[in-house]
Structure formats: structure tokens, C-alpha cells
């Protein structure tokens, strides 16, 4: 998630309370085209947490969605409840806070709960939503660690509810194309790959994302997960080992979390890819070399403006509303009882890599087995 919420939100709450499939771009665009047909029913989504990502991306996307709509909200800020109710015409009976959240189980207007809270709260509210009988989308990173991810998956399975992770780029045409190029070996086997994602943090020094207890980590958790995903979904393989090192040029600002991290991922067959994340560098690329050519994306991971090329020409695909495509796809999965391409297991795989990277940082950059 890409919102900035104050640390005070945690205090308030305390007081109250599968692998990637090789999918063709053609099938993706066909699915997007199918969204132009008005469905018989739209599923209701409740957003849990009304920070920057929920307000700036998810809520507007739900106004364009064809298979789902903004049915409810969950917030600990009364003024936000009033503001959102007026702006999106949300019924008072569909507005919850963190104390009465579990009452959502009695609300037939809400089919899906989208958890958009600080990472430390993902596990709690995903499990509570599933126990309330709601399907769940959980924003990335899925949880603080792989063990929490496993508990979330188990809880959703026990409740017979679907769990999806907010990996919007699995629905973005340019990223779908690099999946096809890499997984189907269109230009031969990938021989090398480098991925980077980051930005220069200039926000609130007391924001939750700089608190280890709430965020789990810094640039690696927030931005590096995209670069890790890029390596995994482009190769179509799961890394076996990782080693990492870090740099910190502003230890006062990033005293609790990582600033810039560099890593190497070792994949089956001997392929080793490189990656990096940062809260102090503007990166956002995916570059791969293969036996008969190369391909890349830059910008690779943003909400729009994605661009790319291969050695024989540019990648010419449309820009889409990624959040709309992501949520519409999950709504159709729920409607048709079909698996999502980004289930909880996908988030778990990333967290196993991240856990291993942090172990490597703690162990002088040694190679660590993933999982």
C-alpha cells in the first residue's frame, strides 16, 4: 500500500480494540474488454482504513468498476466517516469503526473486505473479516512475516472465504507481457535480470511506515516487494537462496527500518538475479537479458505511465486503471467460485523471500535458504 498514516492510528485502534500463472496478454485484454458489459450484480466492497491509497486509488477505481462497488467503510476517524459518506453516498448502516467491525458479518451489502491498514494490522483484520464471513483482499506486503501469512491463509480456508493480495501489476498489460516473455522463453532462457524499486522519502518522520512495529521494515517491505515480485513472475520460478547487504545514509530518519537494500536471488538452474529497494533513491525498473535478446520496463511498477521495450522494438500496450482491473477480477472470482491469480499463497512466497533477506542482513550478508 502507498498511503501515509500517522502513528496515532495504532494508538486509537489499541484503545478500541500461486505460484504465478503464465497468462497470455491476449486473454488479459479480452477479460478487460469483457468488463464493458454490465453485469447482473455488483459485489459490495468495504475498505478498512481510509488513508492515501484507499482515498487516492481504490475508492476512485471502484467508481469505474463493473463487477464491484464501494459499499462500506471502516475507519477510526469520525470526520472521515462523515466525509466519505457524503462523497460516495455510503449508507450509515455500512459504516464501521474498529470496535464494531465484527458486526459486518450481519451486513448482506458487503461481500468483500479490502484491508488497507498498516502492515501490522493486516493479519488481525484479514482473520476477523474471514470469520465474519467476508471474502478478503489484503494490501501488500501481506503481513509482518511468513508465519503470519500462513495463519491468515489458514483462517480464510477454515472460513471457506477467498483471500487475495493487492498485487495490481498482475493485471497490468506491460507486466503481463514480461511474464509471457520470461515464462514462455519467447527470447530463450533468461540469463540475467536486475530489478529495482524505491523513492526518496520526504514525508512525516513519525509516519507508521517508519515504525518497525507497524511496518515490519522500511524500503524493502514497501518498495522492494515489487522488485522481488518482478523477478519471480518474470522467471516463473521460485528463488532458493538469497544474500543481501544494506546502506543507510540517514540513520536518524530510518533508525527503526531499512533505507536501501541490495540482494541476489538464486533460482533453480543456476540463474542469479539482482535487486534493490530504497527509501532514498528513485528507482522503478525491471531488466532482463535472455539467450536471443532482452526486454525491460521503466517505469515498471507505478499506478500509470508504465513503459517498456524489447530488443526488437517497444512494448505498445494500453495504460489501464490497475486497481479497477484487480478488484473487478477478484469480484468475478468470487461470483464464479474460481481461484484468484494472486491468492494468499502469493503473498506468503514474497514474505518468505523478505524474511530470508532480513536474516541475511542480520548474518553479515550470508546466503540464506528461502522458506
Please answer whether residues 350 and 29 qualify as being in contact, where contact means their C-beta atoms are separated by less than 8 angstroms.
Answer: no
Residue tagged active-site, from 67, 98, 226, 301: 226
Among all chains, which residue has been given the C-alpha cell 486473454?
Answer: 27
Active site residue 105: no
> In degrees rounded to 5, what are phi and psi of residue 368?
-120, 135
Cβ proximity of 125 and 115 under 8 Å:
yes
CA of 21: how far to CAs of 96, 179, 340, 371, in Å? 36, 9, 10, 20
Q: Which residues are bridge partners to 72 per DSSP?
A: 46
123 is annotated as an active-site residue? no
| Helical packing angle, 344-362 and 146-158, nearest 10° | 160
Q: Which of 5, 140, 276, 349 is catalytic?
A: 140
* Ramachandran quadrant class, 305 (left: phi over 0; alpha: psi -120 to 50; beta: rest): left
- Grid coordinates standing for 52? 492515501
Question: CA-CA distance, 220 to 125, in Å (whole number)?
Answer: 23
Distance CA 255, CA 257 (A): 6
Q: What is the CA radius of gyration of the chain?
A: 20
Active-site residues: which are they?
Answer: 140, 226
Amino acid at each position: 500500500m502507498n498511503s501515509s498514516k500517522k502513528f496515532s492510528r495504532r494508538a486509537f485502534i489499541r484503545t478500541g480494540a500461486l505460484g504465478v500463472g503464465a497468462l497470455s496478454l491476449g486473454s488479459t485484454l479480452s477479460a478487460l474488454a469483457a468488463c464493458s458489459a454490465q453485469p447482473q450484480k455488483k459485489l459490495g466492497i468495504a475498505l478498512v482504513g481510509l488513508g492515501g491509497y484507499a482515498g487516492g486509488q481504490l475508492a476512485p477505481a471502484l467508481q469505474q468498476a463493473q463487477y464491484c462497488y464501494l459499499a462500506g467503510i471502516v475507519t477510526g476517524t469520525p470526520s472521515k466517516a462523515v466525509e466519505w459518506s457524503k462523497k460516495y453516498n455510503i449508507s450509515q448502516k455500512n459504516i464501521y469503526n474498529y470496535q464494531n467491525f465484527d458486526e459486518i458479518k450481519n451486513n448482506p451489502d458487503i461481500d468483500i473486505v479490502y484491508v488497507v491498514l498498516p502492515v501490522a494490522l493486516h493479519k488481525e483484520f484479514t482473520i476477523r473479516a474471514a470469520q465474519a464471513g467476508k471474502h478478503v483482499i489484503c494490501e501488500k506486503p501481506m503481513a509482518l512475516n511468513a508465519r503470519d501469512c500462513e495463519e491468515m491463509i489458514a483462517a480464510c480456508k477454515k472460513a471457506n472465504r477467498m483471500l487475495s493480495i493487492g498485487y495490481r501489476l498482475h493485471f497490468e498489460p506491460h507486466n503481463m507481457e514480461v511474464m509471457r516473455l520470461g515464462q514462455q522463453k519467447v527470447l530463450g532462457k533468461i540469463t540475467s535480470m536486475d530489478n529495482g524499486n524505491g523513492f526518496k522519502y520526504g514525508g512525516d518522520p513519525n509516519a507508521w511506515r517508519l515504525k518497525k512495529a507497524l511496518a515490519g521494515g522500511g524500503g524493502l517491505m514497501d518498495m522492494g516487494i515489487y522488485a522481488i515480485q518482478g523477478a519471480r513472475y518474470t522467471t516463473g520460478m521460485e528463488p532458493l537462496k538469497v544474500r543481501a547487504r544494506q546502506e543507510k545514509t540517514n540513520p536518524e530518519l530510518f533508525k527503526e527500518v531499512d533505507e536501501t537494500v541490495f540482494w541476489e536471488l538464486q533460482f533453480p538452474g543456476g540463474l542469479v538475479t539482482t535487486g534493490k529497494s530504497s527509501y532514498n533513491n528513485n528507482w522503478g525498473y525491471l531488466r532482463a537479458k535472455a539467450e536471443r535478446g532482452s526486454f525491460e520496463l521503466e517505469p515498471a511498477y507505478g499506478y500509470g505511465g508504465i513503459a517498456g521495450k524489447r530488443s526488437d522494438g517497444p512494448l505498445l500496450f494500453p495504460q489501464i486503471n490497475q486497481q479497477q482491473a484487480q478488484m473487478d477480477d477478484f469480484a468475478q472470482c468470487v461470483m464464479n467460485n474460481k481461484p484468484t491469480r494472486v491468492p494468499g499463497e502469493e503473498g506468503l512466497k514474497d514474505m518468505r523471500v523478505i524474511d530470508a533477506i532480513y536474516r541475511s542482513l542480520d548474518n553479515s550478508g550470508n546466503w540464506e535458504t528461502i522458506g
